[in-house]
Amino acid sequence: GAVVSQHPSRVICKSGTSVKIECRSLDFQATTMFWYRQFPKKSLMLMATSNEGSKATYEQGVEKDKFLINHASLTLSTLTVTSAHPEDSSFYICSARGVVEGGRQPQHFGDGTRLSIL
Amino acid sequence: EDQVTQSPEALRLQEGESSSLNCSYTVSGLRGLFWYRQDPGKGPEFLFTLYSAGEEKEKERLKATLTKKESFLHITAPKPEDSATYLCAVTTDSWGKFQFGAGTQVVVTP
């Protein structure tokens, strides 16, 4: 149980392109989804928190116009990197958690998307 | 300021050589502490949740414990397939937002 699917697993594209990454919870309803960025040999850096049907909450320093997040249903959230540039190249990981129980539910992670901007 | 610190940064073990990883935290109002393992190029895989001091959880060769200031992940008689980066995370809010430690990279050699 608690499977999260992230797609695509790898993207290589030219500078200026917009890229959409999908995150789906396959066997549970995700009231909250999180988007992270991970640099080589570093831990996960939270970018934003999204709750179904409402606007995402972005962490300090994350450009919300650059990283558009949509959480339109209880099983799907998308991250769109708009007008991507080489400095946006990174490993992006989503996670999902089910019904909030005082913040005690674990997050379940997708397998990440390796984004490379040429 | 809330802080989560993992030690050591890296650990090299012989197969069968038991050891412990540490996750110390200074946060206000801990709601949960979580352990994950992450393989290269993959997302973190959930291992354990601990809620209160004194709690222990076990799964195969792994055992996690929690005190008021830190958590330990004990690896008993590790095998090469236990090689991974082990991450701990804490949550203090009702939305379950995580603060991660930097991780411990474990390499188990045959």
- pLDDT at residue B94, rounded to an integer: 75
Residues facing A70 on adjacent strands:
A78
Residues in chain A with CB shorter than 8 Å from the CB of B32 are 103-104, 106
Give the pLDDT mean for A85-107.
85
Residues in chain B with CB shorter than 8 Å from the CB of A95 are 43-44
User: What is the biggest distance separating any 2 CA atoms in chain B, rounded to whole angstroms?
Assistant: 43
Tokens at residue A72, please? 């339109």
B93–A contact, CB cutoff 8 A: yes
What is the dihedral sign for C-alpha B61, A39, B92, A21? Answer: negative
* pLDDT higher than 70, residue A100: no
Tens of pLDDT, residue by residue over B4-26, are: 999 999 999 999 999 999 999 99
Per residue of chain B (110 residues), what is the pLDDT tens digit? 788 999 999 999 999 999 999 999 998 888 899 999 999 999 999 999 999 999 999 999 999 999 999 999 999 999 999 999 999 999 988 778 899 999 999 999 99
Interchain proximity A104–B49, CB inside 8 Å? yes
* pLDDT higher than 60, residue A102: no
